[in-house]
Amino acid sequence: MSKYMLIMRGTDESMAKMMETPFEEMLETVGRFNEELIRAGVLVAAEGLDDAGQGVVVDFGGETPVVTDGPYGETKELFGGFYLIDVASKEEAVEWAKRLPAVPGSKCEVRRVPSVDEFPQDNEWIIKERAWRERTGQL
């Protein structure tokens, strides 16, 4: 099994369309999809994000980090939420992504999350991370 992140991206148009959807209807649609993921035993985590305008951006382009009120760039550079699923293959992750209750015009990026087992096991930082994951029940 491998973990994959399904990153949901919107456009100005798809975000506006989503805001037109009654909140209860959106909760019902997303809730049904979440229930499918849970029944299939593949859901690890899922979160939506607050409005990008409420965030801040930390820019590391200079000598010291600069913090500005968000968002930055175009809407297509931002993501609005994610699912973390544990599935057998990239193909299975893509099949789940195709079933997302997404608004027309939005996109979903599918990215594999490497396991701690894929890093050099004799590295002191990997040893510390592995110990933390074991302590917290993640391994």
Res 35: pLDDT: 95
Res 3: pLDDT: 95
How many separate domains does the chain show?
A: 1
Domain region containing 42: 2-135
Q: How many CB atoms lie within 10 A of CB 136?
A: 8
Instruction: Collect the ranges in the chain with pLDDT lower than 70.
Output: 71-77
Q: How many CB atoms lie within 10 A of CB 91?
A: 8
Res 76: pLDDT: 59
Res 104: pLDDT: 81
Contacting residues for 120 by C-beta, under 8 A, at least 6 apart: 126
Pairing of strands 107-113, 43-48: unpaired
Res 34: pLDDT: 93
Contacting residues for 12 by C-beta, under 8 A, at least 6 apart: 75
Res 15: pLDDT: 77
Task: List the CATH number of the domain containing 55.
Answer: 3.30.70.1060
Res 18: pLDDT: 79
45 within 8 A of 6, measured Cβ to Cβ: no
Amino acid sitting at position 68: T
Q: Find where tokens 């997303």 sit.
A: 30
7 within 8 A of 101, measured Cβ to Cβ: no
Res 71: pLDDT: 66
